[in-house]
Homo-oligomer: A and B are copies of this chain.
């Protein structure tokens, strides 16, 4: 696979995300949907970690958080001109879901090879889907053109202060849930990572906790960026990964600034480790977790990130292809 469209668009908004913004987003989400559960999970070594089941959100992923926070802060004028997003599927559904509830038109630029379940659901939620070819077209250019034509607001999947704050609301919830049942807030949060929207939101939400973003091997540009102290992109010809939700080619300065000031260091996991984590969540938690959604659990199960009773693990999404999921649980 070549690397056709590195996402070098600057952050669409100059303002920085804040912890106050995260708290405001958390209040909005609390009034919108039931809190996703924090489930205890016993690891093979006997330790118990706490899994935040974001795969149980209405669209099957945490993405409604950032989308809801962004769209509810639009002006009346902005609402009439609609929103545009680029996404391989989960952010697409999050924006489409929030837009439908608010009566806002949504246009989503999606790779034509996104999982059928994600394409279909996005359309079913009432959004206009504009497909593009991952290998030959720049999704950012297509989105920018639509925004210019219609005067629409771009809701970036991670390089946006509202989106970062919205995703961070998961951290506010899990900290409160751990206070109840784990005897204290998280000292470590392990999270799947694409562009760093969720990881930077969690860092703002839980400044005392170590946050560990986890990417698929070969797509670990955030890990390399954090290790080297400067933003790098995914290399040419990255390996094939089942983690379609984690195929972001680079993080944005707005995310990188939060992650570096938090002292974050990342991890990478193999495809086999991801499948093992999906099978473990199926058997032990009775949850359907998509490959990208299982990346953080994969790092914990592989012993790449230490874990104890004050460790939270984000299960970020559950939109899987049924046939692929059937193979994973039958083979592992």
Contacts and interface: CB of A to CB of B under 8 A. Distances in A.
Interface of A: 33-40, 53, 55-56, 58, 60, 117, 177, 180-181, 279, 282-283, 285-289, 318-320, 322-323, 325-327, 329-330
Contact of A287 (B36, B288, B322): B288
A37 B36 contact: yes
A119 to B, nearest CB: 14
B60 A286 contact: yes
A37 B56 contact: yes
9 contacts: A34-B180, A36-B37, A37-B37, A40-B58, A56-B287, A60-B286, A282-B288, A286-B288, A286-B318
Contact of A326 (B55, B287, B326): B326
A318 B53 CA distance: 16
A329 B318 contact: no
Nearest to A38: B34
Contact of A34 (B58, B177, B326, B330): B177
Given A34-B37, A37-B37, A177-B34, A56 B286 contact: yes
A325 B329 contact: yes
Nearest to A329: B322
Copies of this chain, tallied across the complex: 2
A313 to B, nearest CB: 15
Given A37-B34, A288-B282, A323 B318 contact: no
B287 A286 contact: yes
Contacts of A329: 322, 325-326
Nearest to A325: B329
A294 to B, nearest CB: 12
Contacts of A283: 117, 322
Given A287-B288, A323-B330, 8 more contacts: A34-B37, A34-B40, A34-B180, A35-B37, A36-B37, A56-B285, A282-B288, A286-B319
Contacts of A33: 40, 181
> What are the 6 closest A-B residue pairs judged by CB atoms, nearest first?
A286-B318, A326-B326, A286-B288, A326-B330, A55-B286, A322-B329
Contacts of A181: 33-34
Contacts of A318: 286
A53 B287 CA distance: 11
Nearest to A124: B42
A40 B60 CA distance: 12
A55 B284 CA distance: 10
A89 to B, nearest CB: 14
A58 B40 CA distance: 7
Nearest to A323: B330
A33 to B, nearest CB: 8
